[in-house]
Amino acid sequence: MPRTYDIAGQDVGDLLDVLVSRHYKELAEAFVTFDLLLAYGPRNKEGEITAPAIVLQGHRAAATVRVNSHKDRVKGLNDVTIEIDGDLWPEWSAEARAAVLDHELYHLELVPSPDGRWTLDNANRPRLRLKKHDFHFGGFRAIADRHRGQSFEVQAVEEAYSLIAGERGQLEWPWAAPQPNRKLARS
């Protein structure tokens, strides 16, 4: 059976509305609209999930966001589509659900106009674009083990840690989270 999709329930929409009103005033002012989908992984005859519901660049993703094409928006689709892993959503805490949706919303950026507001397309909808992550990396543990601090894997983790913790390199995350294992990076 292939991947399947459902329109997300009111609870997802309500959480999105809270996040937009709390953290994304410009999206609210521009009346950005959203399609929210739950994606479900393919299942075998026994009903067991055989692959992730959402795959992005070859890796499982909790959710994705895309700005719908101008053509699709003219046809009636909303401005943005957010797909959420419907297999995992029920297992996440309320805080994790908020974090996932907040992450996807943070990708959205209104295209500015000369007057400092935002531009509209010829369908009178706000123009949007996606922001890239502040840090993004991939790697292989074997390479990090072999080359330690000289590997791009370890350097990328150190750079991400520095962006989060600041230049002082303190060994605490600025939020309550497990301490990173710095042994590999130091060796």
CATH code: domain of residue 61:
3.30.2010
Cβ pair 110, 127 in contact under 8 A: yes
Q: Report in angstroms the alpha-carbon separations of 44 from 8, 50, 88, 89, 90.
A: 23, 6, 18, 20, 21
Q: Is residue 136 part of a domain?
A: no
Report percent pLDDT > 90 for the chain.
64
Q: Look up tokens 């894997």; give the residue.
A: 153
17 shares its domain with 69: yes
Question: Poorest-confidence range of 27-31, 112-116, 134-138?
Answer: 134-138
Residue 54: pLDDT over 90: yes
Same domain, yes or no: 109 and 34: yes
Asked whether residue 86 falls in the same domain as residue 23, the answer is yes
| Structure confidence at residue 108 (pLDDT) | 98
Query: What mean pLDDT, rounded, does the chain reach?
Result: 87
Assigned domain for 34 exists? yes
- Domain tally for the chain? 2
Which of the two residues, 168 and 27, has the higher pLDDT score? 27
By residue range, what is the domain housing residue 12?
A: 4-130
Residue that wins the pLDDT comparison between 125 and 137? 125
- Taking CA atoms, 22 is separated from 25, 78, 102, 135, in Å, by 7, 21, 10, 24
**Domain-embedded: residue 26:** yes
Question: What pLDDT digit, counting tens, does each position of 67-119 carry?
Answer: 999 999 999 899 999 999 999 999 999 999 999 999 999 999 999 999 888 99
CA distance 140 to 162: 20
Look up the pTM and report it.
0.81
Give the confidence band of 166 by pLDDT, cuts at 50, 70, 90.
Answer: low
Q: Are residues 103 and 146 in the same domain?
A: no
Shared domain for 122 and 168, answered yes or no, is no
Tell me which residue of 107, 57, 49 sits closest to 81, measured CA to CA.
107
Mean per-residue pLDDT, 142-162: 82
Closest CA to 63 of 72, 50, 54: 54
